[in-house]
Structure 1
Amino acid sequence: MKTVIKQLTEAFGPSGYETEVTDLIKTIVEAHVDEVKTDVLGNLIAIKKGAQGGRKVMLAAHTDEIGLVVTFIDDQGFLRFASVGGVGLAPLVGNRVRFAGGAIGVIYQEKGAWKDLTMDKLYIDIGAETKEEAQKMVRVGEFGIFHREFTDLGNRLVAKGMDDRIGCVVAIEALKKIQNPKNTLYFVFTTQEEVGLRGAKTAAYGVDPDLGIALDVTLTGDTPEASRMEVSLGKGAAIKVKDSSLIVHPKVKDLLVELAGERKIPYQMEVLERGGTDAGAIHLTKVGVPSGAISIPTRYVHSPSEMVDVRDVQACVDLVIALADKDLTGIC
C-alpha cells in the first residue's frame, strides 16, 4: 500500500490537470474491474459489476490537489500567482513549487510585517534573471503544485497531496480485494473537487447511483492547542455526520456505524465544522441520492506535509469492503 501512496502523492495533478494521476490509477485498477472509462471532465470511472438486484453504489475519491497558477512575469523573471483551491498563506513562504514542465521555484514574500501578508505580496523565484529567460521555463497560465517528497515515518506517512490521493488509495486497495460484490460498485476518481466538486457533479449525473459515498480526508483535533474535534490519528476510520456541504443521511450514517461494529473495524465519528467533499455534490444529483462519507483522519490538511496513519487507511479500506456486499434494501 505504501508504494501506491508514494506514487500517487508525488504525481502532478492540480485541479483541471489530473491526467498524470488518473493515468497512473488506470494502470493499477484496470485488471481488477469489469470496465474502466473516462468522462468528458476527466473523471476515471472503474466499475465492478454486482449481482442481479443489487444497488448502484458510487464511491468517489478526488484526484486533484490544491495548487497555483502563474498570472504575471516581471522584468526580473519573478512570477506572480493566484491560488487554485484552498491555498493558505502560512504554508507558502519558503516552500517550493513544481510546474508541469519541470521548472521548480521558491515562494517568498516582499518586505513587510507578517500580519499584513496577502497573496499579492508573494512571488516565485525560478532562478531566472530576466523575463525572457523565465518565459522559456514557465508561461503565464501554467499551473504548479507544492514540491515535496513522500516520507515514511512508520505508521505515520507524510506527503503533499494526501488530500485526496489517500482517498484514491482507499478505493484502489478495496477494489483489488472485493470479489463478486452484491452491489454494482462505481469507483469514481473525480476531478476538480478542490475548486467546487465539479467532477463529482457530472459523474454522479452520469452514474445515477442509488447510494453515494465520498472517500476523502478530514481534519483532526489531536495536535497541540488544536480546534476541538473528536477525531485523531490512529483511532480508525472517521464516519461523517456533517460538514459544510452535507448532512449525512441518517440511514447511511447508521449503516456505516453498523458495518464497522459488525466487522470490528475501529471508527470515530466526524463532525467537520468547515469544508466539504464530493458527497456534497452527489447527494443533490437529479431527485437526490442518500449519501455519506468515509473519511481518513489527516493532520495539516492543505499544506505541503499532510500526515495520515496507515492503520486508519486500512480501517477505511475494510469499511468499503464491508459496504460492497451489504444488502441495501431499506437504505436506498
Structure 2
Amino acid sequence: MLYTRLGNSDLTVSRICMGCMGFGDASTGPHSWTLAEAESRDIIRYGLERGINFYDTAIAYQGGSSERYVGKALREMARREEVVLATKFLPRSDAQIAAGVSAKEAITLSLNQSLRNLGMEYIDLYICHMWDYHTPITEVLVALHEAVKAGKVRAIGISNCFAWQLAKANALAQRENLTPFVSVQSHYNLIMREDERELAGLCAEDNIAMTPYSALASGRLSRPAEAETRRGQEDNYARGKYDKTAAQDQRVIDRVTELAVRHAVSMTEISLAWLLTKVTAPVVGATKKHHIDGAVNALNLVLSADEIRYLEECYLPHSLSGIMAQNRPLTT
C-alpha cells in the first residue's frame, strides 16, 4: 500500500479509499444489493489487511446503517488513530427549511447522529455531500469550523460541486478565518472526465485533494458488459448516469479491455492505474475481496505515456449527470 497526505490537512491516507455505500441493512434504504453486517465486516477486515486505512461512508447510506456497520467494524479491528474515517452530511431538507431550522442546527444534528452511528468521538473528514443552494456557504463553513474547534471533526471536504463553488467557499474561509475544504469528492473516471476542465486545475493549484467517487463507473470500467451484476440490474441511478452515453463510452471501455489483456491484469487495474495518475485517492466501492485486490494491485501498475494517451484520446464531452444534474438550480 502507498500512503499520502490528504491535501492541506494533517491526515495521512492510503491511496485507495474504500467506498462503503455497499454496506448496510438492505431493508432500511433504497438498495437491495447492500451487504449485511457480517459480510461487511469481512470486506472491511480484508481492506485493513491489504493496508487500506481510508474509509468513506455517509449518513444517507441505507438509513445510517452503513455508518453503524463501518464504525463498529473499525472500532473492533483497528486502533482509532490508525484509520481515517470520512462521512457525509446532506443539505437541509425541505421540511427543515420550512420549520426554520438553521444550517448550523441541521449540521449539528447530522454530525451528532453520525457520531452516534459510528460510535466514535470524532470524524476525520466530514464532507458536505452536495452544494446547498438554499443556504449561504458562509453559514455552512461557520458550522463546520465550530465542529472542528470542538474536536468533533479533524478536516472538512465537499462533494458534488463546481470549481467556482469550491474556490468561492475557500476564499470566504480564508477571509473569515474559517476552516477551508481540504478535499473534493466528485464524479470522475475514464468515461466521465468533465472535471478536467476546471476542477482539477483548481485542486492542483491549491493542493486540494481529489477523492473521486464512481471510480469504476459503477462497474462499467471493471468488467465486460455482459458480466451483469445484481447492482447493475437494479441501480437505476447508475444507469441514469451512463446509459445515455453507452455507445461513446464503449470505445474507451474497449481500450481498457485491450490494455488489460496486454498487461495480463484486470480491467479494474487498468482503469484505476490511469485514475491514480490524476487524483489523490479514488473512492472504490467493494463488496467482494477481489474488488479490493484489483484496487490495491493497481498501485503497482505503471502505464506508459502512450498508453495513457491511448485511453484518453477517444473521449467525447459529456453533459452533467447524477447529483450534479439533479441538484443544479433552474435558471430563467
What is the TM-score with the length of structure 1 in the denominator?
A: 0.28
Between Structure 1 and Structure 2, the one with more helix by share is 2
Larger radius of gyration: 1
Q: Which has the higher contact order (CA 8 A, sep 6+)?
A: 1
Give the structure-2-normalised TM-score: 0.28
